[in-house]
């Protein structure tokens, strides 16, 4: 399915048209016997070979020339020489990402499938020094030895020391304060921006998100009796809080440092009729003190904490729990841990300063402050399906999304979520729920003997 290319109609003034272009079939003779590239394609081939090796997709250039297989998962369209100029100055995912966000690169085909096919080439791309001579020669041949282009306006530029309050606030605002209407379009009715739990593969996104919330409630023991006090750290738009209050009578305090999230969360709580059970605060977790809760949930927030503050994070939350209290940390993880490099696409456009932790490191950090870790569960395959569902939501409502936040930002999310889903498919990233409990003085945990109640 052609999904992302600009059309002549879009270029002539309708900026909200979905970026589509009718694929141009190669001549029959070329299908039977591929010919040597000509034009720009011939000049570019040494550079693409050096950067990627054999590319399993068709590449078409602005002069009509092309190279690569015609029976692959799709076609990459290089619309203008500016795309190459960006790659020359940032020969990696950042240059490619900038060109895609600006519309200088387009694709014809399923972007998820194309990224999956390009993964081996992407691994080769990390060794960029060996490709430098070919990149420089190509730049000269195409007369592209010019100063770098300015980055697209969607690129983040947080200032200050890493993971200080001020810089964290900038990063959170860049990611979340883009308009609640856009997130409603992307995430669906539950407004849950984290991995869903598809009990059945055919479940809808909202059904799967409710199943995730219910699983967390049961792991935290909120179903055992109404009136338990829950702290939801990074409460988003209130989805977990509403579920816990509506289905289990929990009394919830939700905190966020996103003004737009807090505003909509309060509106949604009022509409759900649970105002008397939920309080939403615009508050940093570092300001929490002198309160007691029966349970703490942290869903999709831990990625913003940073490795250097991981111990302080758990040290702040642990004293807030009464004896027998439980904490569930739901977060994306990476084997060995990974800090998103400053030149990565994700760091510059999606999660400024985001860091993924190794599960073992998180368990150690929880244990070091007095948690007894009782359960660790991976939902990796569920996140791959969640991300693909979000991609489908974008594709089906492209015009509306562009009208809300602009084509550049929609392209950011399309590229990010497509690549994100492949990362969960191949195990490069995962998502884990880690449940810790605070035993009483006699060592009683209050935990059920089996997981039966969670199902």
Q: Do residues 430 and 302 both lie within one domain?
A: yes
Residues 129 and 174 in one domain: no
Q: Is the residue at 21 inside a domain?
A: yes
Is 42 a member of any domain? yes
The answer on 399 and 284 residing in a single domain is: yes
Report if residue 1 sits inside a domain.
Answer: no
Query: 218 in a domain, yes or no?
Result: yes
pLDDT per position as a tens digit, 252-300? 999 999 888 999 999 999 999 999 999 999 999 999 999 999 999 999 9
Q: What range defines the domain where residue 178 resides?
A: 165-454
Same domain for 356 and 431, yes or no, is yes
Q: What is Dmax (Cα atoms) for the chain?
A: 81
End-to-end CA distance of the chain: 38
Same domain, 382 and 447: yes
Instruction: Flag whether 151 is in a domain.
Output: no
If one counts the domains in the chain, the total is 2
Do 360 and 401 lie in a common domain?
Answer: yes
| Structure tokens that stand for 113 in this block | 């499938």
| 153, part of any domain | no
Q: Which single residue is written with the structure tokens 């029966």?
A: 294
pLDDT in tens, 164-219: 777 777 776 766 667 889 999 999 999 999 999 999 999 999 999 999 999 999 99
Contacts 24+ apart (CB under 8 A), 62-66: 63/39, 64/39, 65/37, 65/38, 65/39, 65/40, 65/41, 66/26, 66/37, 66/41
Q: Quick one: 92 and 186 in the same domain?
A: no
* Closest-CA residue to 339 (of 355, 350, 323): 355
Read off the pLDDT of residues 376-423 as tens digits, 9 standing for 90 and up: 999 999 999 999 999 999 999 999 999 999 999 999 999 999 999 999
Q: What is the CATH number of the domain that holds 415?
A: 3.40.50.150
Do 177 and 108 fall into the same domain? no
Does one domain contain both 179 and 255?
Answer: yes
pLDDT reported for residue 89: 87
Evaluate whether residue 156 is within a structural domain.
Answer: no
Q: Of 141, 156, 179, which one is at a domain's C-terminal end?
A: 141
**Same structural domain, 118 and 191:** no
Q: What is the mean pLDDT of the chain?
A: 87
Residue 66 lies in a domain: yes
Same domain, 207 and 96: no
């Amino acid at each position: 399915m052609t999904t992302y290319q600009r059309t002549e109609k879009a270029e002539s003034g309708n900026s909200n048209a979905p970026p589509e272009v009718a694929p141009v079939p190669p001549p029959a003779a070329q299908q039977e016997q591929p010919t040597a590239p000509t034009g720009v394609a011939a000049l570019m081939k040494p550079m693409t070979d050096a950067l990627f090796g054999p590319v399993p997709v068709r590449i078409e250039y602005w002069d009509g020339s092309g190279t690569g297989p015609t029976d692959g998962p799709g076609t990459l369209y290089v619309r203008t020489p500016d795309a190459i100029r960006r790659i020359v100055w940032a020969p990696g995912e950042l240059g490619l990402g900038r060109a895609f966000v600006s519309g200088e690169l387009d694709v014809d085909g399923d972007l998820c499938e194309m990224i999956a096919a390009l993964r081996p080439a992407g691994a080769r791309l990390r060794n960029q020094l060996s490709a430098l001579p070919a990149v420089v020669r190509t730049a000269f041949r195409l007369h592209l030895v010019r100063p770098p282009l300015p980055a697209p306006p969607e690129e983040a530029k947080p200032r200050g020391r890493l993971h200080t309050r001020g810089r964290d606030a900038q990063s959170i605002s860049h990611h979340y304060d883009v308009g609640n209407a856009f997130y409603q379009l992307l995430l669906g009715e539950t407004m849950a921006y984290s991995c869903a739990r598809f009990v059945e593969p055919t479940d809808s996104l909202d059904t799967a998100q409710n199943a995730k919330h219910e699983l967390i409630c049961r792991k935290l023991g909120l179903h055992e009796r109404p009136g338990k006090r829950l702290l939801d750290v990074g409460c988003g738009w209130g989805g977990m809080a509403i579920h816990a209050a509506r289905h289990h009578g929990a009394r919830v305090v939700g905190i966020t440092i996103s003004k737009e999230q807090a505003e909509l969360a309060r509106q949604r709580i009022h509409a759900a009729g649970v105002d008397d059970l939920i309080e939403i605060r615009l508050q940093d977790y570092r300001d929490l003190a002198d309160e007691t809760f029966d349970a703490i949930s942290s869903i999709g927030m831990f990625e913003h904490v940073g490795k250097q503050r991981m111990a302080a994070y758990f040290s702040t939350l642990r004293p807030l729990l009464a004896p027998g209290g439980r904490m569930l940390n739901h977060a994306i993880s990476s084997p060995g841990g990974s800090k998103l490099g400053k030149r990565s696409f994700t760091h510059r456009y999606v999660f400024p300063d985001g860091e993924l932790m190794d599960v073992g490191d998180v368990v150690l950090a929880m244990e070091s402050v007095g948690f007894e870790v009782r359960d660790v569960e991976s939902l990796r395959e569920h996140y791959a399906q969640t991300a693909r569902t979000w991609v489908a939501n974008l594709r089906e409502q492209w015009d509306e999304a562009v009208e809300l936040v602009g084509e550049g930002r929609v392209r950011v999310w399309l590229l990010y979520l497509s690549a994100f889903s492949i990362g969960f498919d191949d195990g490069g990233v995962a998502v884990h729920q880690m449940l810790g409990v605070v035993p009483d003085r006699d060592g009683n945990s209050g935990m059920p003997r089996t997981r039966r109640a969670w199902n």
